[in-house]
């Protein structure tokens, strides 16, 4: 097991130590749910719960659940905050209970595969190590699978960051990414309601930007894998 996977003791008593580590993320989650229950109607609370569960279960990502939540009438800032809190809470759970998470059947299997893929990802994307802090924030911001609290924690620890550093960067990346997606989705949905054609044009433009960016990203990665970045005939 790598050194970054070693667990730190908060209390000498193992039962108290594990109880506190398990309880902290749980209490954060319960406190946030109570906050949602106090500001939302019963129907909206259930709807928000469904959106949050959909985000936790693959393959839905923040780029999907946030626009859907806004389209269904949930406040854009609250759906962004809720998805951000899921990333932060899962990152906190990983920071405190990484050893236990490896023993959870489905999660442990996914983490094992992610660790193998994460090492390869870091080797293929040297900018993560070069940018360090900003690199992990950007990684968590990306609306792709495995870039939330769990994936962000694993990659951050692989880069040699402390647990506190990783949690700070997960929090920053989650909030920036979720609020950016929510703000953009709110604007586009507003344009669709106001003028259908304008809204459709915006959607097409966003799709083109994503496709071009993805193509450029893949091209850059392929060039990085070749000696001196020169493609041989």
Inter-residue contact 182 to 70 (CB < 8 Å) = yes
* Distance in angstroms (rounded) separating the CA atoms of residues 133 and 122: 14
Residue spans of the domains in the chain: they are 3-189, 195-233
Give residues with Cβ within 8 angstroms of 112, minimum separation 6: 102
Local structure of 19: helix, strand or coil:
helix
How crowded is residue 96: how many other Cβ atoms within 10 Å of its Cβ? Answer: 23
| Mean pLDDT (whole number) for 30-35 | 96
201-218 pLDDT, tens digit per residue, is 766 776 676 566 555 555
Inter-residue contact 79 to 66 (CB < 8 Å) = yes
Inter-residue contact 192 to 178 (CB < 8 Å) = no
- pLDDT value of residue 203: 66
Mean pLDDT in the chain? 79
Range of weakest confidence among 78-92, 161-175, 187-201, 209-223: 209-223
pTM over 0.75: yes
Percentage of the chain modeled with pLDDT above 70: 74
- pLDDT value of residue 218: 58
* Intra-chain end-to-end CA distance of the chain, in Å: 42
Q: Is 57 left (phi over 0), alpha (psi -120 to 50) or beta?
A: beta
* Distance in angstroms (rounded) separating the CA atoms of residues 144 and 151: 10
Local structure of 164: helix, strand or coil:
helix
* Distance in angstroms (rounded) separating the CA atoms of residues 123 and 129: 9
Residue 164 in this model has a pLDDT that exceeds 80? yes
Phi, psi of 14 (to 5 degrees): -65, -35
Percentage of the chain modeled with pLDDT above 90: 27
The closest alpha carbon to 69, from 192, 186, 148, 147, belongs to: 186
43-96 pLDDT, tens digit per residue, is 999 999 999 998 887 667 888 889 889 989 999 999 999 999 999 999 999 888
Phi, psi of 44 (to 5 degrees): -70, -35
* Distance in angstroms (rounded) separating the CA atoms of residues 115 and 118: 5
The closest alpha carbon to 178, from 32, 109, 79, belongs to: 79
| Mean pLDDT (whole number) for 113-131 | 71
CA 82 from centroid of its chain's CA atoms: 12
* Distance in angstroms (rounded) separating the CA atoms of residues 54 and 12: 38
Query: Binning pLDDT at 50, 70 and 90, where does residue 20 land?
Result: confident
């Amino acid at each position: 097991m790598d050194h970054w996977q070693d667990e730190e003791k908060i209390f000498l008593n193992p039962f108290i130590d594990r109880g506190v580590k398990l309880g902290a993320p749980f209490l954060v989650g319960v406190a946030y749910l109570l906050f949602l229950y106090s500001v939302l109607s019963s129907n909206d609370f259930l709807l928000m719960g469904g959106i949050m569960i959909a985000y936790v279960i693959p393959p839905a990502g923040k780029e999907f659940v946030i626009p859907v939540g806004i389209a269904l009438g949930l406040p854009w800032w609250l759906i962004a905050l809720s998805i951000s809190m899921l990333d932060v809470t899962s990152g906190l759970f990983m920071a405190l209970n990484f050893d236990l998470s490896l023993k959870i059947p489905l999660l442990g299997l996914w983490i094992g595969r992610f660790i193998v893929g994460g090492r390869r990802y870091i080797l293929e994307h040297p900018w993560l190590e070069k940018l360090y802090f900003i690199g992990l924030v950007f990684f968590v911001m990306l609306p792709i699978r495995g870039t939330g609290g769990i994936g962000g924690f694993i990659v951050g620890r692989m880069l040699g960051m402390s647990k506190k550093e990783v949690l700070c960067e997960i929090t920053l990346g989650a909030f920036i990414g979720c609020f950016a997606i929510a703000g953009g989705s709110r604007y586009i949905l507003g344009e669709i309601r106001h003028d259908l054609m304008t809204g459709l044009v915006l959607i097409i433009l966003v799709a083109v930007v994503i496709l071009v960016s993805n193509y450029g990203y893949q091209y850059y990665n392929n060039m990085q894998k070749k000696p001196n970045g020169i493609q041989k005939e």
